[in-house]
Structure 1
Amino acid sequence: MIGNDVIDLAAAKTQSNWRRQGFLQRLFSEDEQHCIMSHTEQETMVWVLWSMKEAAYKAWNRQTGTRAFIPHLLHCSVKVLDSDNFMGKVVCGDFKYHTQTSISDEALHTVAVADSSQKIYEPENPDIIKDEGGLPFIQNNRKLLPASVSHHGRYRRVVSVCD
């Protein structure tokens, strides 16, 4: 299973006020809020955790077929590798997703996979094929491979698993 999320950081600054009353409590557990408040770049950590939840949710949705607004059921743990790279895990019930987040060019991008040994690639300008449930796939060597599509502001990212 695969999911991804991209955040245009400039758009996020103008579209979302993460400091407004109730915002953090609505989306993040107490541990996640502590992670945000104790990080030197609090706003960055808000979007890292949110992106982890979104990417994992897409993988979970593909795996279970369930659609729901469940940010409190997605529990994140994150390891800061450096100021622009993060690794983590997101747990949702019995499901666990491994995440990798990178920040570049005013965008933040997270990929989530159920199997950490899966190889991921980003095809250039792929044709997206959706199944009857609306899940995206790409064609590679006559095989349909699961894909994840994300867009926000100026950015669009498509990821898939290697064949």
Structure 2
Amino acid sequence: MVRGEFGKSGSVRGRPFLKKVHSRLRRMDDQSADWLRSQFMTREDKVYFAPNVFAFYPHNWPRGGPRVLVAKEYFDEVLFTGSRHSHSDFHAYSDMGSNLLQLCIFGSWHQMTMRSVLQQRIVTKVIIDLMVADLVAVGKLQNVASSLGTSVHNLYNWIGKSGRSDRFRREYDRHVQLS
């Protein structure tokens, strides 16, 4: 589901965004390319997206909900979706003095185990991120948002409303061919 495959000539088959990442790697300096490669795992010629996620309970837990952070580059350098225009409800986690962005995990997750938060919210969000990245890679994100009657900025909130994820999936399938 969240993977691609290396072809015989070193090409990548599967998700359009993986093809874009693969072609970009060839033009990057070694340090940047190494960081980008660290977001993926390769097993038996299959490429799996495995972004680095930093998850923890804050000092005021359970009053404060769990925190889930990703590198700022997750949106701009890996997915090409931009952290500001379509993820405006994410904010820099600046008190850690780092380059991390906190993912918005809507709902009341205060009493949940970290395992539940990761399984029920973060994995689902990463899958939607991949679908958005595929739409960016094929140049159809704006078209899909328009056909759903929303904007790119509000797309995540739109998908999260009851019954809408199936409609998003149909639009995604119409525009993205996983080869």
TM-score when normalising by structure 2 = 0.27
More helix by share: 2
Greater Rg by CA: 2
More strand by share: 1
TM-score when normalising by structure 1 = 0.28
- Higher relative contact order at CA 8 Å, sep ≥6: structure 1 or structure 2? 1
